Each structure stands twice: as structure tokens, then as C-alpha cells.
Structure 1
Amino acid sequence: MLLQKLEQLRALFAEMDRALIAYSGGIDSTLVAKIAFDVLGDRALAVTAVSPSLLPEDMEDARIQAAEIGIAHEMVQTHEMDNPNYRSNPVNRCYFCKSELHDTLKPLALERGYPYVVDGVNADDLSDYRPGIQAAKERGARSPLAEVGVSKLEVRELSKSLELPWWDKPAQPCLSSRFPYGEEITIAKLQRVGQAERYLRKLGLKTLRVRSAGDTARIELPVEQIQDFVQTTDLENLVSAFKSFGFIYVTLDLEGFQSGKLNQVLSISSIA
């Protein structure tokens, strides 16, 4: 079944002939970039959007991975922070982010002669609340993984089978996803969250989030790692570091890491 889906993806790109990939450097868009390059060669282009919500090290990862794949890679600046609808952080914030992304990529693609812009949306994403998917569809973007029915687990399996060394890379959504809906997003807030997560990664942690609510940082780790983290981490130094980043309070979420946890506050009525 997995091999069949891989062949379907290859056939899909062969039909496109030329494609521009909205490439974040995450595991999904990197798999798409890999398959696109294998089929299209220099008729595929990966483009990464640069903004304050993307960590510099994630941009560097994107560059390194694109180079290893061999695909042509460019970076473009996006300006979602100029949009008050984005900064106010409503429940459909991602709609305004993806609108800015695809309003930037689509003209670039047409100018360069790429009839298709494709992204890394997978089949599992369709079952979550993802307003950004709507924005991409409205602008004609295609999602090969979703079209073929490739799940997140299958993305990792396919990446491993294609010998991509980052097949087990943790998901890393944009930093704006760390804030509760309704709290204004600023560049300063994005920077302090980025500094906090960078600090934790330097401790050897991989799967993590630092949620920001007002002046409080809430650390999320996989539940099985919490006890060891508390016992082995110099908590005094950690708190001191987080305060130097701009937080006043530092907490640990005892429920543990959950991707998309902030969406738990949404009700059917609020997203209708």
C-alpha cells in the first residue's frame, strides 16, 4: 500500500511537469520536495517563507535539507505581521498566515513558469481545524499528500524508506501557535518563545513546546520525560534564563506535550 501511494505521488508530479513547493523544512513539505525533485529535477523549486514566526535554525535546517535533496531552493520574505487580522490572533489566524504565504508564492510561480504551487498538507491534517488549508485552496494550491491519502505516520515511513535522515524529526509548527487565541502576537513575544525553546533544545530535548500566556511560560514535554526533567535539570538556572528572555513566571504542564493543545479550547460554535 505504501509503495502504491509513493507511485501515485510520482505520477501526480509527472502530470504537473513543473511545480513550486511551499517548503517549510518540516517533514511533510520536505518529503514533497524530495519526490518532486526525483520526478521533475530542475523543473521543481522549493521556496521557504521567512518571517518572525520561523526560528533561524529551522530556516537553516530547510536550507541544509534542500541541499541534500538537490532541489533548487529560495527564500522569500512574507509580511503576515503587517496584518492586524493576524496579529490579533483570532481562531482563524492561520487563514491569514497562509493567505499571505500563497499570495506571495502564486505570483512568483506564475512569473517563473510554474503552473502549480503545492504544499505539505497530509491526510491527517484534513481532520483537524486548519483554516490555513482553506486559504491555500482558495488560491489554487494543491496538496499531493492529502490527495493521495498519505497520513502523518506514512509520511515518516515514506521518508525513512527514501533514506531521508530527518524522517523522525519532531513537528515544528510556527511560533505563533504557542499563544492562546485572542492574545496579540508581537515580534518581541515570538522572540522570547524562540529563545526559550532554543534553551530547552540545548539541554538535549527534542519534542517540546513553550506555550506563552501573558507573562507566563508553560513548558510542555512528553509525559514520560517530565520526572527525569525535573530531577536532572538545573531548574534555578532555567528559571533565571527564561526571566532574562522576558517571562515573569515559568511553569511545567503536568499533562504533558500534545500537538495542537491550544485547539482544545475551541468549541463547535466558535469555529463554525
Structure 2
Amino acid sequence: MIDRLLHHLIPLARVAVAYSGGVDSTLVLKASLDALGTENVIALLAVSPSLPQSEKDEAITLAQQLGARLELLPTEEVNDPAYQANAPNRCYFCKDHVYRALRQFAEQNGIVHVLDGMNAEDTLDVRPGRAAARELKILSPLHDLGFSKQDVRHLAKALGLPNWDKPAAACLASRVPYGTSVTPKLLSQIERAEAALFDLGFRELRVRHHGDVARLEVPEADMLPALQQREAITTALRATGYIYITLDLAGLRTGSMNEVLKARSA
């Protein structure tokens, strides 16, 4: 499997990798380094209020461990009225800003190819941002080779990547219902709420924002521990500005804010 990926990357010669510190983009970065050498690879991390500080710090540390060159690129999607409006295609405007920033940096440094970490299963959910990737000619080697999420984790583990079992992450704006304006202040509230729960020992979670209500999603295995710590959770989330705290009995799932779109189209 790794040979297929390396052979796919070698003809590209020099690449910039849209890097987030997640397992997918880390695998692409590691494979690119192995295939092309550190002098021909640069990792680009888009930084904005939608990226939690903890995720930024972890991504920086991991890039250093891999010996990769890393550039932090501030992006301005949160200042775009189309992004702030938070329509169902919000992700398009986000990725348009991010990929344009990455593409501009790459071109200024004589790099033709920009890679991302989309895998073969990432198209199964609502992902308007893929249109921006196509428009800006971003390459997705894991998708093109048909690598599933399980394939990615298996290969990342085989290569010794320390984040091979890292839970999937998403930008903080994914916690906000469509139609609710996305602002840096709101994103900060969500970030602080989730950080407080990480401090309580939870590893996988989402705090979905519904005005005064925080809807907590955790895996089924963490529901009982969440109930057992309900007082601590309530205190922590109220300290970040929420009044009502709920535990979603459906559990943690990717893209739960898209469920309303699917219900409306049914």
C-alpha cells in the first residue's frame, strides 16, 4: 500500500501539503517526505479562529517530529460575509480562502502541486468545499488511490505516525447550525467549552452550539462517564456562557449539523 502511494507521489517532484495535523494530511505529508525528500516538501497550516489552539499546537509539534518544513498561513474566511452567513455551502467559502492562500504561497515559491488529505470516503458526507479544491486544482492522492479511512489509519500505524488513532476533527464552525452567524467570539466560546471537557478526560466530543444550549456529543462508551460527571460538565460549560447543557442520546457522529439538510430533502 505504501509503495502505491510513494509511486504516485514521486512524479510530482515538489509539493506543498495542506496540513492540519489530522491523520489523513499527516500521512500525505509523511509519504511526500519519504518520496521526495524534505527539500522538496513543505507543509502549510491554515490558521484562523476556526482552528482550535490545541490543534494548532499539536500540528506544529508533529511536523517538527517528522522533520518537515512548516509554514503557518493566516486565512481570512471569518471576515467574509458569505462565510459568516453560515449557509449550507459555508464550507465552500472557507476552503476557497484556505486553498487560495495555499495556492498563492506555493506559486510564489515555485511549487506547482498542492496536496490535501481527502480520502475515498470523504465524499460520502455533504462537502461543498470540494468544489473549491477542484477549482484551485488541489490534488488528493489518498482519494485518487481509493484509500479508505481504515486504510489510512492502518498505513499511518505501520509507518509509526503517533497520531494514527487520533479522533477525526473538524473546524469549530461545524458546531454551529446553518443560519446562525459564525463569528470569532462564537468560535472562541465553542473552543473553550470543548477544551474544558478535554480537561475532564474526554478524548472524543463535539459541543454543538444552539444559542443558550450546548448539545454535547460523545461516543456511546462515554455516555455513562458523561452522566457521572454531569455536575462538572454543567459547571464547566456554564462558565463558557451556556445556560442549558444537554447530552445527545444519538452519540457522536460526523456532520450531525447536516442531518437537518437531509431531513428537509426527504
Provide TM-score, normalisation by structure 2. 0.96
Q: Does 1:76 align with 2:70?
A: no
CA offset digits 1:156-200 (Å, max 9, x no partner):
001001011110000110000001111111111111111111111
Whole-angstrom CA distance in 2 between matches of 1:92 and 1:212: 18
User: How do residues 90-109 of structure 1 correspond to structure 2 at under 5 angstroms?
Assistant: 90-109=87-106
Are 2:200 and 1:221 equivalent residues in the alignment?
no
Task: List alignment gaps of at least 5 residues for structure 2.
Answer: none
SS at match of 1:219: strand
Q: Aligned pair 1:130/2:127, yes or no?
A: yes
Q: How does 1:35-50 map to 2 (within 5 A)?
A: 35-41=31-37, 42-50=39-47
Letter in 2 for 1:68: Q
Which of 255, 260, 264 aligns to 2:259? It is 264
The 1-side partners of 2:105 and 2:87 are apart by 28
Q: SS where residue 36 of structure 1 aligns?
A: helix
Output aligned runs, 1:109-258, within 5 Å.
109-231=106-228, 233=229, 235-258=230-253
> In the TM superposition, what is the alpha-carbon distance from 1:57 to its structure 2 partner?
1.0
| CA distance, structure 2, for counterparts of residue 218 and residue 173 of structure 1 | 16
- Please tell me the residue identity of whatever aligns with 2:85: S
How many residue pairs get aligned? The number is 265
**The structure with more helix, counted as a fraction of residues:** 1
Q: Distance in 1 between matches of 2:112 and 2:123?
A: 24
Q: 1:110 to 1:192 in 2, by over 3 A?
A: same
Could you tell me how far 1:94 is from its partner in structure 2?
A: 0.5
Shift of 1:240: 2.5
CA distance in 2, matches of 1:24, 1:123: 18
Structure 1 stretches of at least 4 aligned residues deviating more than 2 Å after TM superposition: 235-238, 267-270
State the alpha-carbon separation in 2 of the partners of residues 152 and 245 from structure 1.
Answer: 34
1:88 matched to 2:85: yes
